[in-house]
């Protein structure tokens, strides 16, 4: 952690509003992105951001600072978001197994040839991120288990390394890589079921 961050935390702990404002300017956008990405609820994400910054004020001065403040904030945000999700909306989350590729006994892909060859990747991004395609994508993200969403956001949105993500979520690099790959494959499958025929 930089001296600057450390001194801001120390000042915020004594009630210094300017220090807190600088910390908010510096970190609130990423806290919100991660909180929303895991909880998928604006109201839950707002509560998470509140909790995270309260923890910064009340506990930040005692932070030892072996890691960058950003990583510590990601870790708190992930934990608070996962706690917030506990017991909520699980009915939306489905097993990923039916969304993963299937194979013939010889290891080649199984399935309808036209579906296997469907390539919608050249569809303009604006089109993919609006209308029915956007709705399919958002619903597919909603259906991911929350631990998968945490990894997906940290890696693909926040662009952290597998090692950094593993440290934040408290898991092994291998587990993070597996979860990330399965999450992407599940999203890809649902988009292909929607877009494949027209590709």
Partner 1 sequence: MICRDAIDVLADYLDGTMPRDLAAELERHLADCAPCRAYLATYRKTHELGAAAGRVEMPEEMRARLHRFLIGRLRAV
Residue ranges in contact with partner 1 by CB under 8 A: 12-17, 20-21, 24, 28-29, 32-33, 36-37, 42, 46, 49-50, 53-54, 57-58, 101, 103, 106-109, 113, 116-121, 125, 128-129, 134, 137-138, 141, 152-153, 156-157, 159, 162, 177, 180-181, 184-185, 187-188, 191-192
> Minimum distance from CB of 66 to partner 1 (Å)?
25
Spatial separation of the C-alpha atoms in residues 167 and 165, rounded to whole Å: 5
List beta partners, residue 109.
Answer: 103
Residue number, 1 or 141, with CB nearest to partner 1: 141
Spatial separation of the C-alpha atoms in residues 136 and 147, rounded to whole Å: 20
Residue number, 87 or 133, with CB nearest to partner 1: 133
Spatial separation of the C-alpha atoms in residues 15 and 173, rounded to whole Å: 39
> Minimum distance from CB of 96 to partner 1 (Å)?
14
> Minimum distance from CB of 86 to partner 1 (Å)?
22
> Minimum distance from CB of 173 to partner 1 (Å)?
10
Residue number, 66 or 155, with CB nearest to partner 1: 155
> Minimum distance from CB of 111 to partner 1 (Å)?
9
Tell me the backbone φ, ψ of residue 109, rounded to 5 degrees: -60, 140
Task: Decide if 58 contacts 173 (C-beta within 8 A).
Answer: no
Tell me the backbone φ, ψ of residue 86, rounded to 5 degrees: -55, 125
Residues in the chain: 199
């Amino acid at each position: 952690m930089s001296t600057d961050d450390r001194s801001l935390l120390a000042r915020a702990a004594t009630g210094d509003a300017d220090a807190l404002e600088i910390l908010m300017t510096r970190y609130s956008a990423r806290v919100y992105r991660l909180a929303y990405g895991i909880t998928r609820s604006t109201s839950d994400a707002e509560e998470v951001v509140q909790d995270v910054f309260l923890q910064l004020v009340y506990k930040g001065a005692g932070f030892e600072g072996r890691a960058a403040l950003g990583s510590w904030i990601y870790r708190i945000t992930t934990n608070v978001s996962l706690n917030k999700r506990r017991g909520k909306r699980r009915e939306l989350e489905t097993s990923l197994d039916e969304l993963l590729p299937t194979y013939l006994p010889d290891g080649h892909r199984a399935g309808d040839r036209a579906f296997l060859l469907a390539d919608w990747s050249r569809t303009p991004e604006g089109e993919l991120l609006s209308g029915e395609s956007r709705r399919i994508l958002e619903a597919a993200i909603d259906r991911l288990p929350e631990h998968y969403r945490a990894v997906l956001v940290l890696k693909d949105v926040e662009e952290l390394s597998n090692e950094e993500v593993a440290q934040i979520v408290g898991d092994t690099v291998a587990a993070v890589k597996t979860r990330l790959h399965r999450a992407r494959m599940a999203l890809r499958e649902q988009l292909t079921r929607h877009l494949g025929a027209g590709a």
